[in-house]
Amino acid sequence: MAEREKKITELKELGEFQLIEALTKDVQLYHKSTIKGIGDDAAIIDAGDKAMVVTTDMLMEGIHFNLVYTPLRHLGYKAAIVNFSDIYAMNAKPKQMVVSLAVSGKFTLETLQELYAGLKLACDTYQVDLVGGDTTSSMTGMAISITVIGETEKDKVTYRSGAKVNDLICVSGDLGAAYLGLQILERENKLFEQHKGFQPNLEGYDYVLKRQLKPEARKDMIDFFAEQGLQPTSMIDISDGLSSELLHICSQSDVGCKIFQNKVPVEERAEIAAAEFNIEPLICALNGGEDYELLFTIPLENYDKVIHNKEISIIGHITDKSEGRYMITEADTAIELRAQGWNAYGETD
């Protein structure tokens, strides 16, 4: 009898989210205390009076960072920030963190102390306690895996799934600059590799480089919501580009959206950098990554509460699912939003 051929699926056939879905679709939850498992920026666990919030993120050398142009102090800072950002995206505050590190013999104590200086600075700045971790060796470069535990009131937890028709779609800060910072670093690095004695010129790019190398997480937004008594209906942090994150909110909330090109916030210094690379700054905002801004929706009647906050842009509104997911351009044409964020397996989805 011919043996049935076992199906083999190459990882490059799947996007990151399809892979996670395929691996986790039959995961069972056994505890009532697990309020939210896989599928949001962080898991939510019942902790008596409060909700405990848990997230983890791993950064790999050669995939997420290049040590040729990433100072280890900045890397430590960023590794912490990307986790804090996921906790804020649940409308919670980070409290504790554990750090797991894999390193090869090419590192010295002094360089790893630099990494820790960055981690500690992030902890001091955001008031987080470093409470443990693990250390091991690696043959293939450095890996840093960080898990952060946060806390919030149970009724303040904000999921990706709560957006309602007519809600306003809001975004903090500005978008696209971190992607442009990466393009500058990559360009100078290539020139450095090709030409002996080449001196990288990073002058004038401070803003976009800072957005790439030393991002911040939007603690101020969570404080603002608390001060204003404002409860977003849905929220996500922007790690993969605005399009992809907005589509997550829409699919998990079962709604459509309409955003306006001219409302998408792009900083002038990002526009200048984009022009050098001949790319549309808007494309960097939609499909670039690593901005770590917050994308959230609020009920229409909360308009007055956000309109005076210069850190918040209202970029559109939530529509019925049947109306689709569109961006209206300056020329008044509707373009369907597509996810073209990062894909760790080498191809965009």
How far apart CA 154 and CA 230 sit, in angstroms, is: 15
Task: Print the SS3 string covering the chain.
Answer: CCCCCCCCCCHHHCCHHHHHHHHHCCCCCCCCCEEECCCCCCEEEEECCEEEEEEEEEEEECCCECCCCCCHHHHHHHHHHHHHHHHHCCCCEEEEEEEEEEECCCCCHHHHHHHHHHHHHHHHHHCCEEEEEEEEECCCCCEEEEEEEEEEEHHHCCCCCCCCCCCEEEEECCCCHHHHHHHHHHHHHHHHHHCCCCCCCCCCCHHHHHHHHCCCCCHHHHHHHHHHCCCCCEEEEECCCHHHHHHHHHHHHCCEEEEEHHHCCCCHHHHHHHHHCCCCHHHHHHHCCCCCEEEEEECHHHHHHHHCCCCEEEEEEEECHHHCEEEECCCCCEEECCCCCCCCCCCCC
Q: How many CB atoms lie within 10 A of CB 136?
A: 9
18 touching ligand ADP, by CB under 6 A: no
Nearer to ligand ADP, 41 or 114 (CB): 41
Longest dimension (CA), the chain: 73
Nearer to ligand ADP, 63 or 191 (CB): 63
Of Mg ion, ligand ADP, none, which one does residue 131 interact with (CB within 5 to 8 Å by kind)?
none
290 touching Mg ion, by CB under 5 A: no
Of all residues in this chain, which one has the CB nearest to ligand ADP in the complex? 41
Stretch 70-89 residues interacting with Mg ion (CB under 5 A): 86
293 touching Mg ion, by CB under 5 A: no
344 touching ligand ADP, by CB under 6 A: no
Stretch 213-272 residues interacting with Mg ion (CB under 5 A): 237
290 touching ligand ADP, by CB under 6 A: no
174 touching ligand ADP, by CB under 6 A: no
CA distances to 65, 181, 196, 270 from 191, in Å: 18, 16, 9, 21
Choosing from 14, 35, 41, 286, the residue that interacts with Mg ion (CB under 5 A) is: 41
104 touching ligand ADP, by CB under 6 A: no
243 touching ligand ADP, by CB under 6 A: no
Choosing from 152, 183, 239, 261, the residue that interacts with ligand ADP (CB under 6 A) is: 239
Choosing from 24, 66, 140, 329, the residue that interacts with ligand ADP (CB under 6 A) is: 24
Of ligand ADP, Mg ion, none, which one does residue 24 interact with (CB within 5 to 8 Å by kind)?
ligand ADP
Piece of 38-46, 107-115, 205-213, 305-313 that binds ligand ADP (CB under 6 A): 38-46
Amino acid (1-letter code) at residue 300: L
Both structure tokens of 266: 């792009």
Choosing from 86, 167, 290, 291, the residue that interacts with ligand ADP (CB under 6 A) is: 86
Site size for Mg ion (CB under 5 A): 3
Nearer to ligand ADP, 20 or 307 (CB): 20
Stretch 57-76 residues interacting with ligand ADP (CB under 6 A): 57
CB of 293 to Mg ion, least distance (A): 11
Site size for ligand ADP (CB under 6 A): 10
- Short-list 32, 88, 120, 147, CA closest to 296: 88
Of ligand ADP, Mg ion, none, which one does residue 66 interact with (CB within 5 to 8 Å by kind)?
none
CB of 322 to Mg ion, least distance (A): 28
Nearer to ligand ADP, 39 or 133 (CB): 39
Which chain residues interact with ligand ADP by CB under 6 A? 20, 23-24, 38-41, 57, 86, 239
The residues of the shown chain that bind Mg ion, judged by CB under 5 A, are 41, 86, 237
